[in-house]
Structure 1
Amino acid sequence: MASSWNGLSFVSAKESYTTLITVLAVTILWTLWSVSGYFRHRNRMPLPPGSFGLPFIGQTIEYVLAMRTADGIRQWMQKQVDKHGPIFRYRFIGYPVVIMDQPEGNKFIFQSEGTSNHIFWPSQMFSLMGRHALTVQTGERHKLVRRYLTRYFDRNAMSRYIRGVNRNAMRHFTNHWQGKEQLAGLDMTNLYTFSTICNLAMSLEEGPQMDKFLEEFLAWTKGLFCFPINLPGFQFYRALKARSVILEVIEGLMEQRRKEIAEDRVPEVKQTDILHSLLTVPDGEGNLFPDPFIKENLLLLLITGFDTSGGILAMTIYYIAKNPSVYKEILKEQKSILEGKRESGTDENELTMEDISAMKYTWNVIQETLRLHPVLVGTYRKTVTDLEYKGYYIPKGWLLSWNNQHSHYNPKYFKDPLKFDPSRWETRPTPFTYLPFGGGPHTCLGNEFARMSMLIFIYHLVQNYSWSLVDPSYDGPFIRDPVARTPDRVSIIVKQIVAS
């Protein structure tokens, strides 16, 4: 028994020794291979300049803190550019990131997406968006889903939606502006954009259910770019809870609609909303989409149509109030459209796509707002192969970041960039310098809908109201969570215009 035990001990020790030697050999070989590859590439070309900072954390904390204000990322970027140049590296949530120069780097990223890089989102985005959402899809799957969803946001779709959006705008001003003397601009624009997209997507009308829905959406959006700490008291935990509530509401509306479809009693007004199409129109292969796909992409469409437009509209109202000459030009343009309707005998409260196209100066004002405070300051792509770019080596697995802050504020492309100047949009900007909605295959799907809904809002606003800031001297800071917004204290004094 003793010898047997000793034999077992000897064998065990021998096997352990062999295993240890094997592990060490593999580790040494892997290290030598990695180091040799690194120096092989470094002998050929260097990594982009910059610093990775602390292990894993890197510059994550300072970057996230910079995201809290609408101007923070621009200032952070400028410090890095002044120190390292237009191409630099840093570390974000454990990943090496390369900020590309602009506009050449933006063009490189967008035109090589799907070949040398693909979309990348931090893990919390998958948790909050869902793995079926268009935003997180890549390759052929992304092409299929985007092709299917594009039908809801092309020009033909806009022509179908315009009457409903216009009707919702008039109802909004009657319910929330009429008789009021002072309003928080952001609250009002959020109410308008949220009710508009809810009505378009699911025929959901204003009321207690929509109010609760909006509250959950605001909590959900604030979790998109926060630290993914899933514990009570943290924003990410609250955002996940909000997501569950939102999906439960959507699921309830889906069950109700399916029952109406089965009983052939779907009201006519609901037959044109996006939910009805998702439940009844098959994809390119003749199959209906599964419930998780429908719920998560409705969630995406709702946030696309609501949060971005609401914040931008509030900022636009602020800039118009700060610039009386801009207000005068907008009023002149909108009155011209109104007079044209009166002369032709058409309903002055009804808008057409031709009217939207005629709002050129008004759109220039919104574009200037978007230049100063874009919906997104940038997103990431992950390299799927080693890259060489402008004399630098970028290893496979690193992140590339397109970014609009250095081009939107670059005097080379936008003269006197800190000045609010809508007239600069009388000429087209240099390609890949103006990217308020992103670019490439993942360009925001709903940007044309956002344009239409914002222009309709301003048409009815300037025809019926004048406004001024409660604090005319206020000049920032503005917040970003994650899109640019006016702070709650930026309120406006409104005065209803009596029709002549």
Structure 2
Amino acid sequence: MEFLSSHEELFSDFKLPLLTLILATIVGLLVRYCKSMASSFRSKKLPPGSLGYPFIGETLSFLRSQKEDKIIEWMANRITMYGPVFKTSLMGSKTVVITGQAGNRFMFSGADNGIASNQPVPVAKIIGKHSIFEVSGSRHKLVRGAMMNFLKAESLQRHVGQMNSLVEQQLFQELNGKDSIQVVELMQRMTFKVTCSLLFKLAEGKEKDSLFKDFTLALRGAWAIPLDFPGTIFRKAVLARGRITKVLSDLIRMRKKDLENGKKGSQEDVISTFLVLRDENGKPLPEEEIIDNLVTLIIASHDTNSILLTLLVRHLARDVDVCNKVLEEQMQVLKAREGSAGALGWSDVQMMKYTWRVAQELMRLISPAFGNFRQTSRDTFFGGFDIPKGWQVFWRLLQHTWTTTFLNSQKSLIHQDLRTLQKLSLHIPTFLLEPVHVSALGQNLPGLKCC
């Protein structure tokens, strides 16, 4: 016992110095790492700019400017101070903002420019690590091919009648007994339900309504500071993502059973398309990967479409001449369908030339998406500045409204001779699925009503 007691005293004597030594070693390593990082950055010519507060950076002002519809002012102030290429910190990551046509050419050159499609931390957490935005190479090509096969023009043209029926049902349901409606919420709910019906064959009911609420939460959290603490927007989004995963997992299980029993064709919906997909080794996609890409598809199709529809209603309510011309064209389509008992078809949609040109003009003047994030896969260089590996790169749309190259860019062309636009608009695209997340008008029209 005396032997043990003496050893305990000896260990106690050494405990404090040992703990001090461990802490000193950790601090020393951290200091060395920070000095190494600082040295590596000093050797690079980084763009001018401010990284803002630690971790938070300038995220709060960036998000606030979007909510208040002042994102253009936010960007213009920094361009004035620092130039067309500047650094900041957004969504928990150091970011280089690239503006101008040359910047967009650099981002989408298709060459090995060191730019990957990876998204910011909160977005990646919501869409999942297996999302098409987070993978590259053969895996990206495989998943993208499956998506495009389901979403190609020939496939979507067959669903025009179904989409028309879903929209009519939703409109009558929302307008019944009401003098006015909130257009933003209506368009969000309508586009979400159409997407779920086409992609998943999800029936109407409480499950679809709950899924809409969870996706709304998830979208909010995707553009929030990634603080995963109880009560934060990001934590609520992560929990909502968990509930979404449960619903989609059940749908996958049901669809898999249907395929095994021969009840559904392989192209019946996008879930079936993913289930029959095989990689180069003949292996099916894991369930987690299917879920991540289903979430990505819904998010990609939801915000931009609902914003465009809201802007269209807003403009028609304000511009009597354009509204009358759109109405006249729609009445012509209705007259051409007299005696036809079938559902609305693609040939009917192709008659809506003027309506589509109005939508195009709105997208030119007020893009449903303001820009997007990418990430550097290696050290790269643009505009005379170094962009270190692992940094985010933010590019923006609406270049034509920021330059004198395009005269009168804010003036609508709708009332002018549309021959120029006609040359550019011979065919109406069958869908608007833009994989862009940052919205210029995503949350700043809550009071817009259509009476």
Query: Taking structure 1 as the reference length, what is the TM-score of the superposition?
Result: 0.73
Call closer, same or farther: CA 1:236–1:393 in 2, change over 3 Å.
closer
Give per-residue Cα distances to partners, 1:198-233, cap 9 Å, x unaligned.
Answer: 111121122222222212221111111012222332
Partner of 2:432: 450
Q: Distance in 2 between matches of 1:339 and 1:83?
A: 57
Checking the alignment, whether the CA contact within 8 Å between 2:303 and 2:439 is kept in structure 1 is no
Checking the alignment, whether the CA contact within 8 Å between 1:311 and 1:483 is kept in structure 2 is yes
Cα deviation, residue 151, structure 1:
0.5
Partner SS, residue 140 of structure 2? helix
Cα deviation, residue 94, structure 1:
5.0
Q: Distance in 1 between matches of 2:351 and 2:408?
A: 27
Cα deviation, residue 411, structure 1:
4.9
Call closer, same or farther: CA 1:139–1:66 in 2, change over 3 Å.
farther
Q: Distance in 1 between matches of 2:199 and 2:123?
A: 22
Partner of 1:169: 167
Given the alignment, which residue of 383, 392, 411 partners 2:376?
Answer: 383
Q: Distance in 2 between matches of 1:176 and 1:34?
A: 56
Give per-residue Cα distances to partners, 1:369-406, cap 9 Å, x unaligned.
Answer: 3344434322222223333333333333333221115x
Partner of 2:394: 401
Q: Distance in 2 between matches of 1:94 and 1:256?
A: 39
Cα deviation, residue 188, structure 1:
2.3
**Identical-residue share of aligned pairs (%):** 26
Given the alignment, which residue of 314, 329, 333 partners 2:310?
Answer: 314
Where do residues 18-417 of structure 1 align in structure 2 (5 Å cutoff)?
31=35, 46-69=45-68, 71-112=69-110, 115-177=113-175, 180-266=178-264, 272-283=268-279, 286-342=282-338, 346-347=340-341, 349-352=343-346, 354-405=347-398, 407-412=399-404, 414-417=406-409
Call closer, same or farther: CA 1:294–1:96 in 2, change over 3 Å.
closer
Checking the alignment, whether the CA contact within 8 Å between 2:311 and 2:362 is kept in structure 1 is yes
Give per-residue Cα distances to partners, 1:242-300, cap 9 Å, x unaligned.
Answer: 1111121122222223333334445x8x9622222223344565432221122222222
Q: Distance in 2 between matches of 1:101 and 1:187?
A: 32
Partner of 1:487: 445
Partner SS, residue 297 of structure 1? helix
Call closer, same or farther: CA 1:203–1:482 in 2, change over 3 Å.
farther
Q: Distance in 2 between matches of 1:86 and 1:113?
A: 22
Cα deviation, residue 163, structure 1:
2.7
Where do residues 465-476 of structure 1 align in structure 2 (5 Å cutoff)?
none
Partner of 1:437: none
Cα deviation, residue 187, structure 1:
2.8
Give per-residue Cα distances to partners, 1:337-375, cap 9 Å, x unaligned.
Answer: 334444xx64585121x4334433222322333344434
Q: Distance in 2 between matches of 1:167 and 1:154?
A: 21
Partner of 2:7: none
Q: Distance in 1 between matches of 2:401 and 2:350?
A: 27
Q: Distance in 2 between matches of 1:40 and 1:179?
A: 67
Q: Distance in 2 between matches of 1:86 and 1:207?
A: 49
Call closer, same or farther: CA 1:188–1:281 in 2, change over 3 Å.
same
Call closer, same or farther: CA 1:294–1:426 in 2, change over 3 Å.
farther
Call closer, same or farther: CA 1:426–1:110 in 2, change over 3 Å.
farther
Partner SS, residue 97 of structure 1? strand
Checking the alignment, whether the CA contact within 8 Å between 1:224 and 1:482 is kept in structure 2 is no
Give per-residue Cα distances to partners, 1:38-88, cap 9 Å, x unaligned.
Answer: 5665xxxx532323334444322222222323x221110011122222222
Checking the alignment, whether the CA contact within 8 Å between 1:311 and 1:486 is kept in structure 2 is no
Which amino acid is 2:344 matched to? Answer: E
Call closer, same or farther: CA 1:34–1:481 in 2, change over 3 Å.
closer
Partner SS, residue 272 of structure 1? coil
Name structure 1 gaps, 5 residues minimum. Answer: 1-5, 432-446, 453-479, 494-500
Partner SS, residue 309 of structure 1? helix
Call closer, same or farther: CA 1:298–1:96 in 2, change over 3 Å.
closer
Call closer, same or farther: CA 1:72–1:29 in 2, change over 3 Å.
closer
Q: Distance in 2 between matches of 1:264 and 1:297?
A: 24
Q: Distance in 1 between matches of 2:66 and 2:30?
A: 42
Partner SS, residue 484 of structure 1? coil
Which amino acid is 2:332 matched to? Answer: S
Query: Taking structure 2 as the reference length, what is the TM-score of the superposition?
Result: 0.81
Checking the alignment, whether the CA contact within 8 Å between 1:98 and 1:401 is kept in structure 2 is yes
Checking the alignment, whether the CA contact within 8 Å between 2:375 and 2:392 is kept in structure 1 is yes
Q: CA RMSD in A?
A: 3.9
Partner of 1:439: none
Partner of 2:6: none
Q: Distance in 1 between matches of 2:291 and 2:38?
A: 47
Which amino acid is 1:491 matched to? Answer: K
Partner SS, residue 257 of structure 2? helix
Where do residues 408-447 of structure 1 align in structure 2 (5 Å cutoff)?
408-412=400-404, 414-419=406-411, 421-422=413-414, 427=420
Checking the alignment, whether the CA contact within 8 Å between 1:56 and 1:94 is kept in structure 2 is yes
Q: Distance in 2 between matches of 1:315 and 1:300?
A: 24
Query: How many residues of Structure 1 are paired with residues of Structure 2 in the alignment?
Result: 429
Checking the alignment, whether the CA contact within 8 Å between 2:304 and 2:439 is kept in structure 1 is no
Checking the alignment, whether the CA contact within 8 Å between 2:93 and 2:120 is kept in structure 1 is no
Partner of 1:462: none
Which amino acid is 1:315 matched to? Answer: L
Partner SS, residue 67 of structure 1? helix
Partner of 1:496: none
